[in-house]
Copies of this chain bind each other. A is one copy, B any other.
Amino acid sequence: MQKTIQKRTLKTRAKLLQAAADVVQKNGYQALRVEEVVQAAGVAKGTFFAHFHDKDALMEILIGEKLDACLDQAQAAEPPKTVPQIIEALAPVHEFMMSERYVFDLLIRYSGAAAISEIGPIAYCFEKYFRIAMMWLDQAEVRQDVSTDLLAEGVQAFAIQAMSLKFCALHSATTFTDRLETYLRAWLTPAG
């Protein structure tokens, strides 16, 4: 029972990822076709599925990478203390999450790990989002009657709700930022 991984494996994988990134760059995530990726990478279709379980798995990697970078960017800034500051700090993250309907749907679909042993890149990012929010809330001017964990989960829930409504024609009168601010004020600083 050997399981040597040959060098060309990594090379092929890198070629596929690069080709996929190029394709996305051109037409966005929604329009990506596996056929286009393998042609750009110069490999057969079967090779693609030897490297990624399915198209979604590739998307998870591509989107997860970008989202992770956005989270790093948010984390690098000065920890926000107030609701508007929190929203501003998370702006790049939310912006990317809402950049395409397809991206948002995929993020939601993979936000939870189906099995403990296989936390995908997106589930990892949601954990990271949660941890960052918790860290901030620990030091922010917010209610103290419930745990920071709970507050952070709520921030995530309201952010998703606000993003959902952004894609909805019925509720497009209010902007995403305004809506999220209303939510978070009521959630983080009640009776104020």
A-to-B contact residues, CB < 8 Å:
105, 108-109, 111-116, 119, 123, 127, 143, 145-146, 150, 153-154, 156-158, 160-161, 164-165, 167-171, 182-183, 186-187, 190-192
Q: State the majority secondary structure of interface residues on A.
A: helix
| Cα–Cα, bound, A86→B182 (Å) | 23
| Cα–Cα, bound, A161→B161 (Å) | 9
Most chain B CB within 10 A, of A115, A119, A146, is at A146
Which single residue of chain B is at the shortest CB-CB distance from A114?
A: B169
Known A-B contacts A156-B161, A157-B160; A150 and B186 likewise in contact (beta carbons under 8 Å): yes
Contacts of A113 in B (CB 8 A): 168-170
Known A-B contacts A156-B161, A191-B191; A112 and B171 likewise in contact (beta carbons under 8 Å): yes
Cβ contact within 8 Å between A168 and B105: no
Cβ contact within 8 Å between A191 and B111: no
Ordered by A's residue number, 14 sampled pairs between the chains whose C-beta atoms are within 8 Å are A112-B170, A114-B167, A145-B186, A145-B191, A150-B183, A150-B186, A153-B183, A154-B161, A154-B183, A156-B161, A160-B161, A187-B187, A190-B190, A190-B191
Minimum Cβ distance to chain B for residue A187 (Å): 7
Which single residue of chain B is at the shortest CB-CB distance from A151?
A: B186
Cβ contact within 8 Å between B123 and A170: yes
